[in-house]
Structure 1
Amino acid sequence: MGLFGSLFASGPSARAEQAWQEIASGAVVVDVRTPAEFASGHVKGAINIPLDQVAQGFAKYDKNTNIVVYCRSGNRSGQAQSFLLQNGFTKVHNGGGVSEMLEAEPK
């Protein structure tokens, strides 16, 4: 493959692989995209709590709940992760984008 190929080889991202490990351990999977984006395709078993509804949507969860958030690119899920951690949640993982998550899904 050579140095160039190994530097630019594609494959599952580390954050998505970690997210799947958390999911296998029982984490709640949350898609923070809009309902329309969610309807166009999502990770199996995910629930939809759009970013602008994170405060209300997570109010019912214990702060020690293991949570994986993802979105389209990882940006909104990063914002959701930061918000939740700042508000006392202790186990929040950013899985990145939906494409990353689907690529890393264990077969």
Structure 2
Amino acid sequence: MENLINDGAFLVDVRSAAEFAEGHVKGSVNIPVDQVQSQLAKFKDKKHIVVFCRSGMRSSQAKSTLERNGFTNVTNGGTWQSVNSFINK
């Protein structure tokens, strides 16, 4: 996953706006999991997409939603802290 992040992956935090406000990965965008379906245009033309949340459950749902809509370049990054650890290297 580190190579994807270093290669400029689209980093999407699928937690709620309130959770995102409490702390998030630098450079990530917040698209809560329940809004992924209605925000598909934001994912178009991205080389790679990394989705993540608090525990990995919501990001798994987001990955499934994106894949059902034809996206094949999605990685479940798990927790936001895990993704964040690669940013700060």
Give TM-score scaled by structure 1 length: 0.74
Match for residue 88 of structure 1? 70
**Residue identity opposite 2:82 in structure 1:** E
Query: Are 1:73 and 2:32 an aligned pair?
Result: no
**Residue identity opposite 1:74 in structure 2:** G
Matched residue SS, 1:84: helix
Query: Are 1:101 and 2:83 an aligned pair?
Result: yes
Query: How far off its partner does 1:106 sit?
Result: 4.8
Structure 2 gaps of 5+ residues are none
Give RMSD over aligned pairs.
1.6
CA contact (8 A) 2:51 2:63 kept: yes
Structure 1 gaps of 5+ residues are 1-17
CA radius of gyration, larger in: 1
CA contact (8 A) 2:63 2:76 kept: yes
Q: Tell me the alpha carbon deviations over residues 77-102 of structure 1, each in whole angstroms, 9 at most, x when there is no partner.
A: 01100110111001001100112222
Give TM-score scaled by structure 2 length: 0.88
Match for residue 14 of structure 1? none
**Residue identity opposite 2:30 in structure 1:** N
Match for residue 23 of structure 2? 41
Count residues with an aligned counterpart. Answer: 89
Mapped partners of 1:64, 1:28: distance in 2: 7
Residues 105, 26 of structure 1: alpha-carbon distance in 2 compared, 3 angstrom cutoff: closer
Residues 65, 56 of structure 1: alpha-carbon distance in 2 compared, 3 angstrom cutoff: farther
